[in-house]
Structure 1
Amino acid sequence: MEVRPFADLLNEACARGPRRFTNVELAGAVRSLGGEITHTYISQLRKGDRDNPTSRTVEDLAHALGVHPAYFVGGRHELAAGEHPRWNPQRLRDLFELVHPPGRGPYSPEEVTSSVGAVGAYGKISPTYIRELISGTSDNPRLKHILGLAHHFGAEPSYFFDDQLAGRVNEQLQTRHVMERLGVNALILRAHEESLEPAIGRRIVDALAKALKVDKPGKGTADTVN
């Protein structure tokens, strides 16, 4: 998924609604909510001179502007009532567990490092840092790393911020994962995805898994990332 330049999205968010934020006003709004971003840095982001903010910067800007952080990575604009979206390391753990070629275990951090670096547009990310993101030891990845990780796993970047989207995606991934372990034919899998109601599909998969004693991912039998 191609994401529009951060500068374009930030400028649009600043111009939306009845209030049009200047850089100084936006920095003040961020500060009033407990964040800290200088008006100089905001100016650089809006001009495109800087284009790799941290996830916390993205979240603070989104909070001040009243938009969902996912908006800045190609996702939805509107916040649901009571939502306080943040970067969620569990999402990365879910992708490692659920997204890998059939017949083998999860990708290693070294494999992901190589994949992200090979693209070129996302910069470099080390295996050590990926492990820290998985464990939650590091919890403030930069935008390009988020985009690179999403690209490797074939996910929408907003998956990392949007719990509603992540819930839907994880259901589909868990279903596919179990069906692959059960050896379900790909044609049947496609029919399931395209024609069945999600609740019916889940019941079918759960029944198959129970009958053949195959645990769904996330139930204590997940492969680990080394």
Structure 2
Amino acid sequence: MSFAEVLDELCGDWTNVALAAEVNRRGGEIGHGYIAQLRRGRKDNPTRRTIEDLAGALGVHPACFVGGRRELRPGERPGWRPAALRSLFEGSPEDVAEAIGSISGSYIRELLTGVSDNPRLRHILGLAEYFGVPPAYFFDEELEVDQGELAALRELGVIEFATRLAERAPHLTPKTRSAAIRAVTEALRTKEGERWDFGAPE
């Protein structure tokens, strides 16, 4: 589901005016017009803080906006987890930024050091795709990733390949996409330590 679809479903009987008032009452800052645009999909790149403010007002976990769980545990106060990003990081921010395309290396450095803590939705989705983790991982401490498995996928070139495939997916035929999936499957079946080179995109 898109962000707009999730938000619209969660809103239920909430009017945009009432939801904006609840967000602002809780210390956030949002206008009812912006909520209306988010619900209709006319705006689709909210900040992390906006996602958390809406989740708090609606009584749900912010991870639900990016495919994660909806329910909150008793006493839970979820939010952006900078340590989750740091735990995944290898290589230079500039290399990661170049692969993602929608974020700069300097901004990634700010996220890693805590200078900035309010990435937009596209930044979160791009980082999750690059590192091969669910986007909800950056909000939900119950989600863990196997660092050994991630390292193995990087060594095989699977994460790099998946990132390139996602960039080109709109231009690929179903036959080509199927062939790509088979290539990944075969890569995962190789003996430990064998490296696959998927080559550069044309």
Q: 1:131 to 1:60 in 2, by over 3 A?
A: same
- SS of 1:90's equivalent in the other structure is helix
Give the greater-gyration-radius structure (CA): 1
Match of 2:92 in 1: 108
Q: Any gaps of 5 or more consecutive residues in structure 1?
A: 97-105, 118-123, 179-185, 189-226
Runs of 4+ in structure 1 over 2 Å off = 174-178
What SS does the aligned partner of 1:26 have? helix
Residue type at the aligned position of 1:11: D
Aligned-partner Cα distance in 2 for 1:137–1:68: 24
Equivalent residue number for residue 67 of structure 2:
74
CA offsets, 1:11-41, max 9 Å, x none? 01111xxxx1000010011111111110010
Q: Secondary structure at the match of 2:17?
A: helix
Counterpart pick for 2:81 among 68, 76, 88 = 88
Taking CA–CA contacts closer than 8 Å with sequence separation of 6 or more, which of the two structures ends up with the larger relative contact order?
1
Correspondence for 1:64 among 57, 64, 67: 57
Which segments of 5 or more consecutive residues in structure 2 lack a partner in the other structure?
153-189, 193-202
Secondary structure, counterpart of 1:163 in structure 2? coil
Following TM superposition, by how much is the alpha carbon of 1:107 offset from its aligned partner in structure 2, in angstroms?
2.1
Amino acid at match of 1:84: R
Identical-residue share of aligned pairs (%)? 57
Task: Assess if the C-alpha contact under 8 Å between 2:7 and 2:65 holds in 1.
Answer: yes
1:5 and 2:5 aligned: no
Tell me if structure 1 keeps the 8 A contact 2:132–2:150.
no
Are residue 173 (structure 1) and residue 147 (structure 2) matched?
yes
CA-CA distance at 1:80 after TM superposition: 0.7
Q: Where do residues 1-226 of structure 1 align in structure 2 (5 Å cutoff)?
A: 4-15=1-12, 20-96=13-89, 106-117=90-101, 124-165=102-143, 168-169=144-145, 172-173=146-147
**What is the alpha-carbon distance in structure 1 between the residues aligned to residue 122 and residue 21 of structure 2?**
26
Distance 1:89 1:60 in 2: 18
Kindly tell me: are residues 176 and 114 of structure 1, through their superposed partners in 2, closer, same or farther at Cα, counting changes over 3 Å? closer
- Check the 8 A contact 2:17/2:32 in 1, yes or no: yes
Normalized against structure 1, the TM-score is what?
A: 0.65
**Whole-Å Cα distance in 1 between the matches of residues 24 and 33 of structure 2?**
14
Aligned-pair Cα RMSD in Å? 2.2
User: Matches of 2:137 and 2:77 in 1, distance apart?
Assistant: 15
* Matched residue type, 1:74: G
SS at match of 2:35: helix
